[in-house]
Structure 1
Amino acid sequence: MDERLFLQVAKAIADPRRLAILEAITRAGEITCGELARLFPIGQSTVSHHVGILERAQLVNVRRQGQYAIFSARPETLKMFLERLNSRLLDVAQTTAQNGPKEGGP
C-alpha cells in the first residue's frame, strides 16, 4: 500500500459517520444507497458523498444494477492498511526503544 492510499484510508475512516457507514456495508455484505440512507439520519446525497470517499480510498466497491448503486466492502484494503499501520508503529516503538524518547514530545 503506497503512502497516498494509506493516508486516504486513514482520513476516510477517521470520520465517525463514514466508519459507521463502512461497518453497515460490511455487515450487510451488499447494500444500496437508499438502504444506507434509511439506516442513518442523513439524505441519500450525503450517503453518496461519504461512500464516494470510501470508494476512492478503495474500502468499498460500487456495482451498478439499473438505477441502483450497490455497495460492498473491500476488506483486503483495510487489512493492508492495518498491516502498514502496525509496521509503522512498530518502527517508531523500536526507534524509541533504541534512542530513547524525544525531548519535548508526548
Structure 2
Amino acid sequence: MATAHHFSLTEQQVTLISRALADPRRYQILVQIAASPEAIPCAQVLKTHPVSAATVSHHTKELERAGLISTIREGKYASFVIQREMLNAYAQQLITL
C-alpha cells in the first residue's frame, strides 16, 4: 500500500489555512473546486455563488494565499485547482494535535 507524502506545515501556514476555511462562503467555494475532476472556471464558481465577481476574486485569492488552490490563468480567464497535498497536510496536522 502506497503512503501519501507527508510534510509538516509551519504555524503560519496552519493559521492562513484556518483563517481561509473559517469563512463559510470560502469553504463552500473550496468544496466546489475540490469536487471538480479538473480545473474549474471562475465563471462556473460565479454561477453557483450569488455574489459579485470581486467577492469571488477576494475569496479565491485568500484560498490561494493559504495554499489550498492554484489559479490557472489563460488571458483574461481564470480557473482553479485544489491543492490536495496541502489540504491533506493540514488535516493530518490537526489529527496529530
If the length of structure 1 is used for normalisation, what is the TM-score?
A: 0.79
RMSD: 0.8
Q: Which has the higher helix share?
A: 1
Give the Å deviation of 1:51: 0.3
Which residue is 1:9 aligned to?
17
Number of aligned residues = 88
Unpaired segments ≥5 residues, structure 2: 1-8
Aligned partner letter, 1:4: Q
Identity score, percent: 35
Which residue is 1:49 aligned to?
58
Which residue is 2:68 aligned to?
59
* Residues in 1 aligned to 2:15 and 2:28: alpha-carbon distance in whole angstroms: 19
Compare 3-12 and 30-39 and name the one that shifted more.
Answer: 30-39
Task: Work out which of the two has the higher radius of gyration on C-alpha atoms and give 1 or 2.
Answer: 1
2:43 is aligned with 1:37: no
Unpaired segments ≥5 residues, structure 1: 89-106
Structure with larger RCO (C-alpha < 8 A, sep 6+): 2
If the length of structure 2 is used for normalisation, what is the TM-score?
A: 0.86
